[in-house]
Structure 1
């Protein structure tokens, strides 16, 4: 046969087959490596190339089957031609062995490793142009592809794979967190933090962010009218709960904007205050934040009374509190006492009423938040008894020293995380 075809022509045909093999190999890697989410976005924006690639990827079994049919046919034909050339130069005995060795090296370098590596690094540069050839080629070879896929899909079903559609691109919440983390400079750090905070809303409940009961400032109707009016005129809050005697007996929520209606009257009565108070809105303490955010929107509310399973008031939760979990602190509560005091030695004196989640956010620590909500409660749970005096303890990597105890309450503790000495 080598006498029928010039050797130069056979070498040219062999080089062409190696290039075609490189095309199929790089197309396979490029198609499988392309970013599906960027591809979907570009297809939605009207990019015809992206739409064509998405059509091919809709049935990956057909795409891969067609590519492998073409690649295997070309490689087998290249092996036959290489054998003919080798026999021409080296004879019938050593020619086949030499052609197998040389062709294997050539295909590995020029048709496999190099094109596939490039396609993995620049998948769009390979997938988009290749789609112009692969789509009509798939239609041309469809009967053969269908037959091969019917057999291979049957074997896959025996292995427990019931679907070969390319629709498994949905992400779990943890996977989406990883995508946001790995976005790098493509998404500003501030925006990354907000996206991650939105994903975390499901893991945080209302009682994690509420103003605790002992810090709630409200109007007690058992107080004198003069004291109540003074409180209303000097209040630094726009909404105040109205209750009688005990905060569990909440009557309503007074918006100070409505207080102007009775403050302008010659005579102000407690009944007038109650009349302007809106019916209270109660929230179960275990409500996840993402649910409560929707509830606030549906109920047209900005503040709610947090209650436990027995109906006792636990505190207040506001729309602003939930939004601050997403975007960070954007309001300043002038009445809020400072609870974390940095010390010169690197430690921090923290008040016992400080919220654990706020301490973690402020200091970057990882104190447990699945139990007590305050530092006082966390220390008592760890000790399993009330300390009779100053005590030192350690939780994870955080060390604590109780500084002050008053009325069965740990009012302050010094906390720090020892730094590990540098390795030499």
Structure 2
């Protein structure tokens, strides 16, 4: 009978060993792995081989757990049967379960795994060689298990892919790690801001950062190189979309540096820019900025042409536009360095029609309401916040939508306690808007 107790203890220790190993090895950070690898020797080599394919390692650990856990429960049941010979089978089974389950859970799972997670480096070194020996010994069994499980996984349409290689971290997990790094002082506020910026890019569509087509400098494909050089020099652009027949039909991108390399003979000056165009990179409006950044880097290009669902030219996004979401404003050829921020005077402000709705809400709405000298600012602000709609991105577009037609200069319309006056237009586009607080009425004023 004493042999049974020794066997029970041995099986419990074996189960604990594999939980111990799993908790330690999978808790090793990348710097810890690199440090162990640099030390060399059999132990570091064993750890490296075990972690080189985490899917195989997990299979080994699960296989061992099943073997020893089942054996542990079986021996306890046999021992209980010997001690309780006159007891009904159902009672013996319940007693065996009451003994095996909590002892296995506490001493075979929770305690060893917690210890492994707490001291990963020390424990990983201690368990590496025996675990690797077992890992090699069960290779045929593991291969059979992986073959069968892989068949059913593929049958359900799943794919282990690169997740099985042990180095995959989902964006959600990475975001949690960044938050933990900030809370524990590993990341400072600047590093946290930059990391958060990368996460924001994944949710930011291309149309949210693009330069609208109406603001883009474009050239026709049949313009002569000589004239193109003069216009490019005048506008100060380095990459220009080129269209054929109509501006919605972009056929290429002209790089300023390609013009500099042009052979300026009399014959070549008469040639058109269509001879030195680069292939445009088209993207939909909904393209996530994070994915676009990776694609631009992969293809080694700096500009993407945004098209709508009908294939019309909607705008363009450059590498700089994306980087500005991470690092803030970058002065370049499209920037206006001497632009003066709109000033609020007497409850009124004049803003450009191209101002983003979000910018107006965040930076100017409160100032307009406060400068009007009204007391119930909370009520006014609640009513006057401009809604962020998919069809409107700028204040000019929002006011245009309020009118429901193309307004004339000087026309007014009210919204949520504000009065919008069309100060100027450029063609069919509202270029300048005066915003006042309507102190008398909240209805529309035409």
Question: How high is the TM-score relative to the length of structure 1?
Answer: 0.56
Which residue does 1:21 correspond to in 2?
15
- Does residue 371 in structure 1 map to residue 368 in structure 2? no
Taking a change above 3 Å as real, the CA distance of residues 377 and 128 of structure 1, as seen in their structure-2 partners, is farther
* Aligned mates of 1:310, 1:111 — CA distance in 2: 62
* Aligned mates of 2:347, 2:18 — CA distance in 1: 61
Which residue does 1:157 correspond to in 2?
152
Which residue does 2:224 correspond to in 1?
none
Q: Secondary structure at the match of 2:413?
A: coil
Computing the radius of gyration over CA atoms, which structure comes out larger, 1 or 2? 1
Q: How many angstroms does 1:320 deviate by?
A: 3.7
Matched-pair contact (CA < 8 Å) for 1:404–1:410: no
Matched-pair contact (CA < 8 Å) for 1:376–1:410: yes
Q: How many angstroms does 1:179 deviate by?
A: 1.7
Which residue does 2:198 correspond to in 1?
195
- Does residue 405 in structure 1 map to residue 419 in structure 2? no
Which residue does 1:397 correspond to in 2?
none
Structure 2: 5+ residue stretches without partners: 220-229, 248-253, 261-268, 365-384, 438-446
For residues 18-417 of structure 1, the aligned pairs below 5 Å read 18-27=12-21, 34=27, 48=45, 49-55=47-53, 57-58=55-56, 60-81=58-79, 87=83, 101-119=98-116, 129-141=126-138, 149=145, 153=148, 157=152, 160=155, 167-169=162-164, 175-176=170-171, 179-180=174-175, 182-184=177-179, 185=181, 188-196=191-199, 199=202, 203-204=205-206, 208-210=209-211, 213=214, 237=236, 286=283, 320-331=320-331, 335=336, 338=339, 341=342, 350-356=351-357, 368=388, 370-381=390-401, 384-385=404-405, 389-393=412-416, 401-406=418-423, 407=425, 409=430, 411-412=432-433
* Aligned mates of 2:297, 2:96 — CA distance in 1: 75
Q: Secondary structure at the match of 1:58?
A: helix
Q: How many angstroms does 1:64 deviate by?
A: 1.6
* Count of matched residue positions in the alignment of Structure 1 and Structure 2: 372
Q: How many angstroms does 1:329 deviate by?
A: 1.6
Matched-pair contact (CA < 8 Å) for 1:18–1:107: yes
Matched-pair contact (CA < 8 Å) for 1:402–1:410: no
Q: Secondary structure at the match of 2:109?
A: helix
* Aligned mates of 1:155, 1:284 — CA distance in 2: 39
Structure 1: 5+ residue stretches without partners: 219-228, 259-272, 394-399, 417-424
Q: How many angstroms does 1:377 deviate by?
A: 0.9
Matched-pair contact (CA < 8 Å) for 2:15–2:69: yes
Matched-pair contact (CA < 8 Å) for 2:76–2:96: no
Q: How many angstroms does 1:175 deviate by?
A: 3.9
